[in-house]
Amino acid sequence: MSNIVDPLVRQIAARVRAERERRRWTLAQLAEASGVSQAMISRIEREESSPTAVVLGKLSAAFQLSVSSLLASAEGEAAVADEGERVRREADAAVWRDPETGYRRRQITSPRFPTEIAEIRLPAGAQVPYPAAAFAFIRQLVWVLDGQLTFHEGDLVHRLHSGDTIELGEPAPRTFVNDTDTECRYVVVLARHPQP
């Protein structure tokens, strides 16, 4: 097995550790706030494990950050080499892949842009659940580009096809599901709003 660590795994590890330390939380406190085990958080921070989308959702909820901003901060150095650079080539974009589902996320905007935009590729048969807390203090729109997305929002189920959009309402547990036999590609547009 290779000892080479993926740069995104290294950056996510540093970001999680920095956010925890900034709050002066112990591993136990972050585990309690997020519902992620201390052992898993420790493996992530030591770069021994790449977090799944579900784990990232739980950690971002505990930090009151969006998954996009958690990843955007991690991707920032790799994706934006020069502060004056405004053109970002697709070939240079960092792509994060969920080791469990194969879900791929490419951050379109840089961390300094006021709105977060990410392109998601959800493999056939995959589903990614997020807790309600992951959606606190944000407004979000989902725009399906290709394929079909079955979107669970609390007790509501929405079937979205190519070209469809949905503006998300109040925080609720949400699950992104691709119950077809082809990949679904969609865009997530996110803006923060102040605490109510």
Give the homologous superfamily in CATH for domain 7-82+92-192: Jelly Rolls (2.60.120.10)
Least confident segment among 15-19, 31-35, 90-94, 162-166:
90-94
DSSP 113: S
3-state DSSP of 68-90:
HHHHHHHHHHHHCCCCCCCCCCH
Q: What is the pLDDT of residue 45?
A: 93
Contact 118, 106 (CB under 8 A): yes
Task: Please name every residue paired with 143 in a beta bridge, in sequence order, or none if there are none.
Answer: 165, 187
Q: Other C-beta atoms within 10 Å of 102: how many? A: 14
What is the radius of gyration, based on Cα positions, of the chain?
16
Q: What is the pLDDT of residue 5?
A: 54
pLDDT for 56 beyond 60: yes
Alpha carbon of residue 189 to chain centroid:
12
pLDDT for 84 beyond 60: no
Q: Which candidate, 89, 97, 95, places its Cα nearest to that of 107?
A: 95
pLDDT digits (tens, 9 = 90+) for 157-166: 999 999 999 9
Q: What is the pLDDT of residue 73?
A: 52
Q: What is the domain partition of the chain in residue ranges?
A: 7-82+92-192
Average the pLDDT over 10-17 and give the result. Answer: 88
Q: What is the pLDDT of residue 91?
A: 78
What distance in Å separates the CA atoms of residue 133 and residue 157, rounded to the nearest whole number? Answer: 19
Average the pLDDT over 130-144 and give the result. Answer: 86
pTM, 2 dp? 0.76
Mean pLDDT for the chain? 84
Q: Tokens 């923060």 — which residue?
A: 192
Buried b vs exposed e over 129-146: b needs ≥16 C-beta within 10 Å? ebbebbbbebebebbbee
pLDDT for 75 beyond 80: no
Q: What is the pLDDT of residue 110?
A: 77
Distances (CA, A) of 13 to 31, 75, 126, 127, 155: 15, 12, 25, 24, 34
Q: What is the pLDDT of residue 2?
A: 44
Pairing of strands 148-153, 174-177: antiparallel
